[in-house]
A and B are shown apart, each in its own frame.
Chain A
Amino acid sequence: MTGFTPDLLNRCIACGFCLPACPTYALTKDETSSPRGRIDLMRALDEGTLPADDPRVREEASFCLGCRACETVCPAGVQYGDLLEEWRDQQWQGSGRPLVARLLMILVDARWRVRLLGLLRRHARTRGGRPEGPSLMLGCFERALFPKVSRAARRLFPELAAPAAQGCCGALHAHNGDSARGRRMAEELGRRLPGTIVTTSGGCAAHLSSVLGRDRVKELSRYAYERDMPGGAEPSRPAAETPPGGVPAETADRPRVALQDSCHLRNGLDVWREPRAMLERIGTYVELPSAGTCCGAAGTYALVRPRDSRRVLDAKLDEIEAAGVDYVAVVNPGCYRQLDQGLRRRKSRVRAVHLAELLAGERPRRREP
């Protein structure tokens, strides 16, 4: 008896339609590193035909990016993301969990430590305790790595409260084998920020929504959309004249901008038109052929499996450079770090920038090659 929900596992009829969507299958062409193959491994665990300590089973639980691209293409409605959480809950106990993930989880587990993370980084913050209206989630890594993103978000939407003592949403735990703790952390954050929670991280948005419900949680581009178009108009509508947060509609120079989707935002919440529509307002939008596929950041993946992470990233960097863009916009801090580092390594002139920064009018200079 293992911890898989039978209904989730039985859904897959092994049609293989998910194979072409999977980045690790594209790298290896090996069924065992495909979504269908991984579900088979889970089944074997469930049926007891493979032991929990089978080395390949362990390897695949870790090699999977968790990007959930397999989920959106699955006609049978298999919820792979949930299955993966259940799988890692079993495999990544104690010493089974990658060391980096363990350290990070300890780091963000207490509110004071999260606060400490951002203390010296001048991220956005407002005073007071429990805010009444909508508030900005600061994120645990974003506040440390990219404090400028929350500052930009506050400039765009001054109505957002940003108390520093809000903690971590628990996505890190949920994706690294402790989904129960991940849920509790999301619930706690929900109590501390009782109104609408706006986040600049697609990954956090998906996890928080799965616990608190979609109405409570808005990723930034979605929030901008709804604020701009009351009544929740669908973003396929042509861009309105007045951009959100009073950004000048016509800047003299309209940059060429591409987007890297956040996997969980796109595959988990179906939010992908919104950031594109926003970018069209400030520049010429260029769709990368692989905009919707994982950049290899994948939460802790880039730290746990740097070599595979780079293999996934490399093809994308080629594409970005070939696209002739000024910026590649991101909507998730993990993608930000991944693309920023990748582009720097290559000495590319293209800059990675968060959507919030671009909307707030920032135009970082192109790097000299």
Chain B
Amino acid sequence: MPAKTTATGEPLDAATLRELRAIVGAEHVRHADGDVTPYARDATPLFRARPGAVVHPASTEEVAAVLRLAGARGVPVVPRGAGSNLCSATVPLQGGIVLVLTRLDRILEISAEELLAVCQPGVTSAALADAAAAHGLLYAPDPGSRSVATIGGTVATCAGGLRGLKYGVTRNYVLGLEAVLGTGEVIRTGGRLWKDVAGYDLTRLLTGSEGTLGVITEVTLALLPAPETAGNGLAYFPTLADAGRAVTRVIAAGIVPATLEFLDARCVDAVEQHARLGLRRDAGALLIFGDDGEPAAVAQRLDRMAELCRDTGAIEVSVAGHAAESEALLAARRCTLPALSRLGSITILEDVGVPRPRIAEMVGHIEDIAQRHDVTIATFGHAGDGNLHPTCVIDKGDDAAGERAHDAFGEIFRTAMRLGGTITGEHGVGAAKLPYLTERLGAAQIDLQRRIKAAFDPAGILNPGKAGS
């Protein structure tokens, strides 16, 4: 699969640049080659395209003025947070402006009384969670990228995370949004209310819209009281499919724990090289199970899960001694993807989801597909919610292996859909998965999505060529 590099960033015309400078200040508009090169990509391998300009606004008004200008001139605008997405959602494939929201980085309010937070889109997930924790509160969504990903980006991709099974994903926590439409109009959806059915649920529609419907400029999020304690355990299995079966048994036993993450042997090896936690490298798979809540209840559920793992053929089961050990384990798990790059310089990660009882079956198919296409695929994932990340590792410049990986993933997507699953559980469609979207949604839904897009963004300037647009 050769790199998908397009456009060399057609520079914007002088008049447009001048007006942009007048809106956000000269130092926040950059267009020289060196300035914009790092905005040609995000965390997705192979996709690259230089924007014509990079603009860093500092307020909703500035965002609105930029969109009005871009709409009038027909210039594409790609909203961007930290650029950590894995579906090339922020690569400006049609040139134009990359609109970076990282300067909007203030937490405006944390209310213990109302159990909510209000913040600007450029705050990182971890910063918000830390601020909530300081008030004894929990911001539940915790994508692996929490230290870098922005709230705006996680809302726009509806990010999941390591606690999805019990706590759900980002959409379950978005109460209200302020967003600027493609027309430059500012809307406020939802608000501070837990119940509010006035009109269509545009909050949910904007959540996961990947910057194609509006630019999010303020977010109101639901918080929970922080659980008293959290704990994790480890179970090693002969194969990943065995770990998958254990997951099914845990859930069938009526336990809905906070965390059920699994990694195959390759992933364990890579993570151990990075984090040096003393993980066993000779087993076929590792399952991390964890829960939070009252200490006694947590201990009891951990014991029960350990027992179920043993019954399913675990080679070794242990429960982390204290919170710090537990946190180190999860921190290491979050690094799986980058740690895998120790095996080869390009890591292409996918994000299929299947109904939970079919996890073990899907894992088997992935192994089979990898073998038939002669590619190295390491698999890890949020096993508890049926979300798998098969990751192909290839060397830079090995185009033949790239092609084989491409074919293997095509087959993996179709297999997931055949099992009643999806092409992306949490990373989004972007440009990377657009070719498979019609297959997943059907023609009628794709058409409807385009009409919705046109209503929000009649000039078609917002992140063109991504998601449903």
Contacts and interface: CB of A to CB of B under 8 A. Distances in A.
B301 to A, nearest CB: 30
A16 B153 CA distance: 13
Interface in B66-109: 82-84, 100, 102-103, 105
Interface stretch (B290-298, B341-349, B367-375): B341-349
Interface stretch (A26-34, A116-124, A151-159, A223-231): A26-34
Interface stretch (B30-38, B206-214, B310-318, B403-411): B30-38
A14 B335 contact: no
A240 interface: no
A254 interface: no
Contact of B38 (A11, A20, A29, A32): A32
- The 4 A-B residue pairs with the shortest CB-CB distance in the complex, in nearest-first order: A56-B34, A37-B38, A75-B335, A10-B345
A32 B31 CA distance: 12
Contacts of A14: 41-43, 45
B348 to A, nearest CB: 10
Contact of A76 (B102, B124, B339): B339
A48 to B, nearest CB: 12
A31 B38 contact: yes
Contacts of A49: 37
A29 B42 contact: no
B124 A36 contact: no
B83 A11 contact: no
B84 A15 contact: yes
Given A31-B39, A76-B338, A17 B345 contact: no
B145 A75 contact: no
Given A11-B341, A16-B83, A32-B36, 11 more contacts: A10-B345, A14-B42, A15-B43, A16-B145, A29-B100, A32-B39, A41-B34, A44-B34, A57-B34, A75-B335, A76-B342
A40 interface: yes
Contact of B338 (A10, A13, A59): A13
A36 B41 CA distance: 11
A17 B147 contact: yes
A292 B63 CA distance: 36
Contacts of A34: 38
Contact of A41 (B37, B83, B103, B337): B37
B453 to A, nearest CB: 27
B396 interface: yes
A36 B148 CA distance: 12
Contacts of A32: 30, 34-39
Contacts of B34: 32, 41, 44, 50, 54-57, 59-60
Nearest to B42: A14
Nearest to A25: B102
B274 interface: yes
A13 B124 CA distance: 20
Contact of A19 (B37, B148, B347): B148
A77 interface: yes
A14 B145 CA distance: 12
5 contacts: A13-B346, A34-B38, A56-B32, A56-B34, A76-B274
A50 B37 contact: yes
Contacts of B84: 15-16
Interface of A: 10-11, 13-17, 19-20, 29-32, 34, 36-38, 40-41, 44, 49-50, 54-57, 59-60, 74-77
A56 B35 contact: yes
A76 B343 CA distance: 10
A31 B100 CA distance: 9
B38 A13 contact: no
A352 to B, nearest CB: 29
A17 B148 contact: yes
B56 interface: yes
A56 B82 CA distance: 20
A20 B123 CA distance: 11
A13 B83 CA distance: 13
B100 to A, nearest CB: 7
Nearest to B50: A49
Candidate in A16, A49, A74 with the most chain B CB atoms within 10 angstroms = A16
A52 to B, nearest CB: 11
Contact of A36 (B36, B38, B339): B38
Interface in B17-73: 30, 32-43, 45, 56
Contact of A16 (B82, B335, B396): B82
A177 B40 CA distance: 28
Contacts of B147: 17, 20
B227 to A, nearest CB: 25
A77 B122 contact: no
B274 A40 contact: no
A77 B148 contact: no
A190 to B, nearest CB: 30
A30 B148 contact: no
B335 A17 contact: yes
Nearest to B275: A75
Contacts of B122: 29
Contacts of A59: 34
B83 to A, nearest CB: 6
B337 A15 contact: yes
A114 B107 CA distance: 51
A38 B335 CA distance: 21
A75 B338 contact: yes
A57 B34 CA distance: 6
Contact of B339 (A19, A37, A50, A75): A75
Interface string B359-402: 00000000000000000000000000000000000001000000
Given A13-B45, A76-B338, A77-B274, A31 B83 contact: yes
Nearest to A6: B396
A16 B33 contact: no
Interface string B102-131: 110100000000000000001010100000
Contacts of A75: 274, 335, 337-339
Contacts of B100: 29-31
Nearest to A56: B34
Contact of B124 (A11, A20, A55): A20
Contacts of B41: 14, 40
Nearest to A10: B345
A220 B414 CA distance: 61
Nearest to A31: B38
B277 to A, nearest CB: 13
B148 A11 contact: no
Given A15-B43, A19-B82, A44-B37, A30 B341 contact: no
